[in-house]
Amino acid sequence: MASSKATTTDWAAHGAQTLPASWPGVSSARDRAYEIAKRAVDVVGSLIALALFLPVMALAAVLVMLTSPGPVFFRQSRAGRYGKPFRMYKFRSMVESAEDDKELFRTFNELPTGPCFKIKHDPRVTWVGRHLRRSSIDELPQLLNVLLGDMSLVGPRPLPLDEVRYDTPDQILRMSVKPGLTCLWQISGRTEIPYEEWLALDVWYIRNRTFVLDLQIMLKTLPAILTGHGAY
């Protein structure tokens, strides 16, 4: 498996978006204690989840391998805390050439505002991939990213490097924490939510995050996944 560390090429590509001169910092001993404890929960939680979901992940890997040529895992550079790129893992849900064809499909983007790119009936998505996406099983390999420290169990979703913006204080604040496996956006409709509301949810979470809120989000994630609202 490839390293989670970003390459020089990743940093060069990320340079198209000028990083802020400074970032919002951890403001108190309570915040620092929260982050230390949060990391401990991430490590323990990701290990438990990997053990529980191992049979599901093994089945998903076999289905991807048998139904579509190409690698089982999709690895993409995403922006982590403070904009630092890292390799994010997913089960591959698209044809192998999907990234090469991305610009050809950009005019069909169904997110009318903001820099993010989604197509509801994306022809690049495989039959198995569509089911993996709707159930969010394709995201399970990101438990490895949580274990490695690139991500947290709860936090703003990590964006591809070309979708990151630092034009406003809210966009900068969003990038000042570790991205997460699940978040308020994930349990509130996902891609049915416009970019501005998505950003507002992430900012509200960052300003109000506590262990109780993290637990509430994690508990509400499973029903959100089962309904599949906004997942495509």
pLDDT tens digits for 162-196?
A: 889 888 999 999 999 999 999 998 888 766 788 88
Residue 134 covered by a domain = yes
- Which neighbouring-strand residues pair with 76? 88
Q: What is the DSSP letter of 25?
A: P
Q: What is the DSSP letter of 94?
A: B
Residue 95 covered by a domain = yes
Residue 74 covered by a domain = yes
What was the pLDDT predicted at 178? 96
Instruction: Decide if 164 contacts 193 (C-beta within 8 A).
Output: no
Taking the CA atoms of 14, 126, 66 and 60 in sequence, report the sign of the dihedral they define.
Answer: positive
Count Cβ neighbours within 10 Å for each residue of 183-203 and write b for 16 or more, e otherwise: bbbbbbbbbebeeeebbbbbb
Instruction: Please report, rounded to a whole number, the percentage of residues in the chain having pLDDT higher than 90.
Output: 54
- How large is the average pLDDT for residues 96-110? 68
* pTM of the shown model: 0.82
Tell me how far apart the alpha carbons of residues 135 and 37 are, in angstroms, rounded to a whole number: 29
What was the pLDDT predicted at 22? 72
Residue 11 covered by a domain = no
Percent helix, percent strand, percent coil in the chain, to nearest 5 = 50, 10, 40
3-state class (DSSP) for residue 96: coil
Q: What is the DSSP letter of 152?
A: E
3-state class (DSSP) for residue 108: helix
Task: Inform me whether the pLDDT recorded for 4 exceeds 70.
Answer: no
What was the pLDDT predicted at 15? 45
Number of domains in the chain: 1
Residue 196 covered by a domain = yes
Residue 6 covered by a domain = no
Which of the residue ranges 30-34, 112-116, 176-180 would you say has the lowest mean pLDDT? 112-116
Range of the domain at 79: 39-227
Tell me how far apart the alpha carbons of residues 147 and 153 are, in angstroms, rounded to a whole number: 9
Residue 34 covered by a domain = no
The alpha carbon torsion through 78, 175, 30, 212 (nearest 10 deg) reads: -70
Residue 160: name the closest of 8, 16, 2 by CA: 16
One-letter identity of residue 195 = Y
Residue 5 covered by a domain = no
Instruction: Decide if 140 contacts 88 (C-beta within 8 A).
Output: no
Structure tokens at 119: 């197509």
Task: Inform me whether the pLDDT recorded for 7 exceeds 50.
Answer: no
One-letter identity of residue 65 = M
